[in-house]
């Protein structure tokens, strides 16, 4: 029996996804829960497992195509015989029923291991240029309409093809099973004009994570009145404590970074200024104050900016926060962050300092009230006990929603975060 797998809802009300890469080809045998395709939603890349076991008979969506939830993407045959259709008297130019299957004749059609697929909607039987139903039951094979071909290539190769302006359908793959390699694109290919490249320009469709990010920041910027305050902090004591902890056995297996200290400081400071850990609900006419901190960590990935969350960060120790940040970052860079990990945040940290930037004015995540940006940590002249010295300093900036947080509250919160970074021992008093 032929079973068709439709694109499932990856969660959080997403309505569509882009096919990134197929992990199987026509003719492959698959098992239940075997990953068969990787798709990119508006929030993240997601691996989809097969709900069926059997043989892949058709790929119904090409890599790069955007499909809606519920649309068929792959057909799998389980080997069981389908019930024979009732006998019908063949007629010339007869139209099939809307869902009738046209038999595949021996001698043409998809071959095992190939990536050829027929059009999603089979040509109307009896239409000009197509065989009628009675002809298809003869012993002579009839040449079908030209099928569409899904070129076999890995995502990096597809990206290179877009940059070069090369149509993969016009490239002969030299890799195993006809897979197109980088060398195939760079050695003797014939560029095919495509709309994506025009004289001195490269154009890409707005989709995926970039589209979702654009919608989110525009909505936030023109909904919540942003205010940003700045503070420069001497973080020398924090770095000294970090070096001591790194040498201890407890922190031997985690990567302890300044971001972990900032995360702990934000969670502690939010206790004294709960307004920054809240949400303005315009439609409901309410302000929601959270007794937990679901801390968002802005992460730059090859697909764009995402903000996965550390759930219940307020209840974690410094070591637990360091481990959670390390795991979160590794997962994000691999493009494996599930959509469910990127919703429900209460406050966010953006570490722009890793790019050598001193400071910035971050935009709030929709639904949140505050976002802290951490600038580059570097040496600078600093006055200590009335004397000029070289210290390690860092600039902090906090953007907040002025509908909910007043200047006094936002400034106090930022001052508390700065004080905890300048003197980590203060954490014992919170």
CB 97 within 8 A of CB 128: no
Q: For residue 170, count other CB atoms closer than 10 A to its CB.
A: 11
Predicted local distance difference test score (pLDDT) of residue 215 = 86
Asked if the domains at 155-202 and 209-429 fall in one CATH topology, the answer is: no
Residue 340: closest CA among 372, 298, 316, 308: 308
- Per-residue confidence (pLDDT) for residue 125, from 0 to 100: 41
By annotation, the residues acting in catalysis are: 402
Query: Tokens 């076999």 label which residue?
Result: 152
**Structural domain spans, the chain:** 155-202, 209-429
Which of 97, 192, 104, 175 has the alpha carbon at shortest distance from 141?
A: 104
| End-to-end CA gap in the chain | 65
Please, which residues have CB within 8 angstroms of residue 137's CB and are 6 or more apart in sequence?
Answer: 90, 103
What's the CATH code, domain 155-202?
A: 4.10.320
CB contact at 8 A, 234 and 391? yes
pLDDT score of 162: 65
pLDDT at 181: 85
Please give the C-alpha separations between residue 147 and each of 45, 181, 273, 361, in angstroms, as whole numbers.
29, 23, 63, 52
Looking at the chain, how many residues does it have? Answer: 430
DSSP state of 30: E
Per-residue pLDDT 10s for the chain (430 aa) are: 899 999 998 665 678 888 989 999 999 999 999 999 988 877 677 889 999 999 999 999 999 888 999 999 999 998 765 554 554 444 444 444 444 333 332 332 333 333 333 344 444 444 444 444 443 433 444 344 333 445 677 766 776 776 666 777 778 788 877 788 877 876 654 444 454 556 788 888 887 778 888 888 999 999 999 999 999 999 999 999 999 999 999 999 999 999 999 999 999 999 999 999 999 999 999 999 999 999 999 999 887 889 999 999 999 999 999 999 999 999 998 888 888 898 899 999 999 999 999 999 999 999 999 999 999 999 999 999 999 999 999 999 999 999 999 999 999 999 999 999 999 999 999 8
What is the number of other CB atoms lying within 10 angstroms of the CB of residue 123? 15
Neighbouring residues of 144: CB distance < 8 A, sequence distance ≥ 6: 108, 109, 118, 131
Q: Which of 336, 256, 337 is nearest to 296 (CA)?
A: 337
User: What is the per-residue DSSP string for 100-136?
Assistant: PPPPPPTT-SPPTT--EE--SSPPPTTSTTS--HHHH
Radius of gyration of the chain (CA): 29
Q: CATH number for 209-429: choose from 3.40.50.2300, 3.40.50.620, 3.30.465.10, 3.30.559.10.
A: 3.30.559.10
Residue 419: the pLDDT is 98
């Amino acid at each position: 029996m032929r079973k068709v797998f439709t694109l499932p809802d990856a969660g959080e009300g997403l309505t569509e996804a882009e096919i990134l890469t197929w992990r199987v080809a026509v003719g492959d045998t698959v098992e239940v829960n075997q990953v068969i395709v990787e798709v990119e939603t508006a929030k993240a890349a997601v691996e989809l497992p097969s709900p069926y076991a059997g043989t892949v008979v058709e790929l119904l969506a090409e890599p790069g195509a955007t499909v809606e939830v519920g649309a068929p993407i792959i057909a799998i045959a389980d080997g069981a015989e389908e019930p024979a259709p009732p006998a019908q008297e063949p007629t010339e130019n007869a139209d099939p029923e809307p869902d009738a299957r046209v038999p595949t004749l021996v001698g043409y059609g998809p071959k095992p291991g190939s990536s050829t697929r027929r059009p999603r909607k089979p040509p109307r039987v009896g239409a000009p240029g197509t065989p009628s139903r009675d002809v298809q039951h003869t012993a002579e094979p009839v040449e079908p309409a030209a099928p569409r071909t899904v070129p076999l290539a890995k995502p990096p190769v597809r990206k290179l093809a877009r940059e070069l302006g090369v149509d993969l359908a016009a490239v002969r793959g030299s890799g195993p099973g006809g897979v197109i390699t980088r060398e195939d694109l760079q050695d003797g290919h014939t560029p095919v004009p495509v709309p994506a490249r025009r004289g001195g320009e490269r154009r890409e469709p707005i989709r995926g994570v970039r589209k979702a990010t654009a919608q989110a920041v525009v909505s936030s910027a023109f909904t919540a009145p942003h205010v940003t305050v700045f503070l420069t902090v001497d973080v020398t004591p924090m770095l000294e404590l970090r070096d001591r902890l790194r040498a201890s056995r407890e922190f031997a297996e985690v990567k302890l970074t300044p971001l972990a200290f900032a995360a702990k400081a934000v969670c502690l400071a939010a206790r004294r200024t709960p307004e920054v850990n809240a949400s303005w609900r315009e439609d409901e006419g309410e302000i929601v104050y959270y007794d937990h901190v679901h801390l968002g960590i802005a992460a730059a990935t090859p697909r764009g900016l995402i903000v996965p969350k550390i759930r219940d960060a307020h209840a974690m120790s410094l070591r637990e926060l360091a481990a959670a940040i390390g795991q979160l970052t590794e997962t994000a860079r691999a493009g494996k962050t599930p959509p469910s990990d990127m919703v429900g945040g209460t406050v966010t940290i953006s570490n722009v300092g890793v790019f050598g930037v001193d400071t910035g004015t971050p935009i709030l995540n929709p639904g949140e009230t505050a976002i802290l940006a951490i600038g580059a940590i570097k040496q600078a002249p600093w006055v200590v006990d009335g004397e000029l010295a070289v210290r390690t300093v860092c600039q902090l900036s906090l953007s907040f929603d002025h509908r909910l947080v007043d200047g006094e509250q936002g400034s106090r919160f930022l001052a508390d975060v700065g004080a905890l970074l300048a003197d980590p021992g203060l954490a014992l008093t919170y």
